[in-house]
Amino acid sequence: IGYNWQFAPNWLLGIEGDISGTGIRNNNTRPITTGGAPIGVGFNHVADQNVNWLASIRGRLGWVWDRWLVYGTGGGAFAGIDYRTDYTGFAVNNPITDSRTLSGWVAGGGVEYAVANNWTVRAEYLYYDLGNETVINPTTTPGSNLVTTFDNRFHVVRAAVNYKF
C-alpha cells in the first residue's frame, strides 16, 4: 500500500508499507569447544533461526521516463523471528525457544515498469538490518551458559505486480 507523487516533471516521491511472509531460515550445528578444541565427539551447539515475516514503512525517491521508474527506498523495518538453541551429547539437554518482534531499518532500490495504465511490474533489492539478538541457554554445569548471538541482517530480492487506484 502506498502513495506516489510525480513532480518536476520526471521526479517521483512516494511512501509505501508492506508485509510479507518469508522462507528465510538459518540452521547451524557446531562442535562445543573449550580452549579452541572440541570437548568430544557428538557434543554440539545447535542454533536455528526462522524469519516468519518482514514488514516495512519506506519512503521512495525515483526518476520517471516514459513507462519506467528507477528508485531508491529506505525506512523502518520490522520482523517476527523464532529462535531455538540446544546442545547435544550431554545426559540432559535444555532446548530454549524464543519468539521476538524486532525493529530496525531497511534500504534498497529497484525498477518498475507500467505495463498498462493502472498496472506495473517491479523488481527490487532490499537490505534489512534488525541488529543482533542474544539467547541464553543455561547448562547443567553451575555458572556456565550457552550464549547464542543471532545476526538479523538480510538481503532480499523480490518481484511484484501492482495495481494503482
CATH number of residue 83's parent domain? 2.40.160
Q: Considering the entire predicted model, what is its pTM?
A: 0.88
pLDDT in tens, 37-54: 777 777 888 899 999 999
Alpha-carbon dihedral of residues 53, 17, 110, 24, nearest 10 degrees?
0
Element (H, E) at 67: none
Query: Would you report the helix, strand and coil content of the chain in percent, each value rounded to 5?
Result: 0, 80, 20
pLDDT at 39: 78
- Top pLDDT among 22 and 143 is at 22
pLDDT in tens, 129-153: 999 999 988 776 677 777 889 999 9
C-alpha R_g of the chain: 22
pLDDT at 91: 67
pLDDT in tens, 113-134: 999 999 999 999 999 999 999 9
Cell numbers representing residue 96 in the block: 530454549
Domain with 104, as residue range(s), is 2-163
CA distance 165 to 2: 10
CA distance 2 to 122: 14
- Given a contact cutoff of 8 angstroms between Cβ atoms, the answer to whether 27 and 58 are in contact is no
Residue type, 66: D
Q: How many domains does the chain have?
A: 1
pLDDT band at 31 (very low <50, low <70, confident <90, very high): confident
